[in-house]
Amino acid sequence: MNTKRSFSKQIIPLVVFLVFHSTYSQPKNDFVLTPCIGNSILNSQTSETELVKIVGKKNVERVERWYAEGTERIVGSVFFKDTPQSFFIKWKDTINFKNPEWIEIHGDKSLWELDNGVKIGTDLKELVKLNGKYFTFSGFDWDYGGQTIFEKGNLESDCYTIQLYYDYENLFENEWNQIVGDKTVSTKNPILNKIKIYVDTITFYFK
């Protein structure tokens, strides 16, 4: 019997399990944010130094990002880059990197969610249901595209913004023109039933 080969067959699944477990073993509550407040780990008093102690220095990177159509430069911290745990912090104190002003959540399979049920990937039909009524959003395909306006529904809040995106493969050009560009689009528009629209980015503000 080849004991070396047998040992390898046993150890490889074990290594895979340990890597997976170390990545995803955080309690689900760590990824749930209460509007304006955050949670016990991410809140208005959090600092980069504190978070580094929790997640490890290798999972934190300071980065430069541009917003407002390339006119606003922001230096912040990204955590767990390119993973389902990822988030970006814009700090109020940019000298000591503490006291978050807002965090941005984006990316496929993100673990983050708001305590009202909204998360990355939530589709339009579910969003209307959570809001309790139809709402509007800005047309797609520009810097401010897909920004929601909840029209005094259940999801209206000044503690977060939700940006939508879409899969337009099934649209004719005249239909596509109705939902793109600097215009307001109603979720009552029947064209939206032909395509997938979903939450793409959540920007969470601390008070």
Convert the pLDDT of each residue in 21-66 to its tens digit: 344 456 667 899 999 999 999 999 999 999 999 999 999 999 999 8
Please say whether the beta carbons of 4 and 174 come within 8 A: no
Distance CA(61)–CA(190), nearest Å, equals 43
Distance CA(181)–CA(59), nearest Å, equals 37
pLDDT band at 10 (very low <50, low <70, confident <90, very high): very low
Q: Is residue 190 part of a domain?
A: yes
Q: How many domains does the chain have?
A: 1
Distance CA(184)–CA(136), nearest Å, equals 6
Q: Which residues contact 145 (CB under 8 A, 6 or more apart)?
A: 138, 139, 163, 180
Q: Is residue 85 part of a domain?
A: no
Q: Is residue 145 part of a domain?
A: yes
Q: Is residue 160 part of a domain?
A: yes
Q: Quickly tell me which residue has 């990197």 as its tokens.
A: 97
pLDDT reading at 151 higher than 90: yes
Q: Is residue 54 part of a domain?
A: no
Domain containing residue 121: 116-200
Q: Is residue 125 part of a domain?
A: yes
Q: Quickly tell me which residue has 């980015």 as its tokens.
A: 201
Q: Is residue 65 part of a domain?
A: no
Distance CA(118)–CA(202), nearest Å, equals 9
Q: Which long-range contacts (CB under 8 A, 24 or more apart) does 75-79 make?
A: 77/48, 77/51, 79/51, 79/55
Please say whether the beta carbons of 124 and 187 come within 8 A: yes
Q: Is residue 154 part of a domain?
A: yes
The residue with greater pLDDT, 46 or 5, is 46
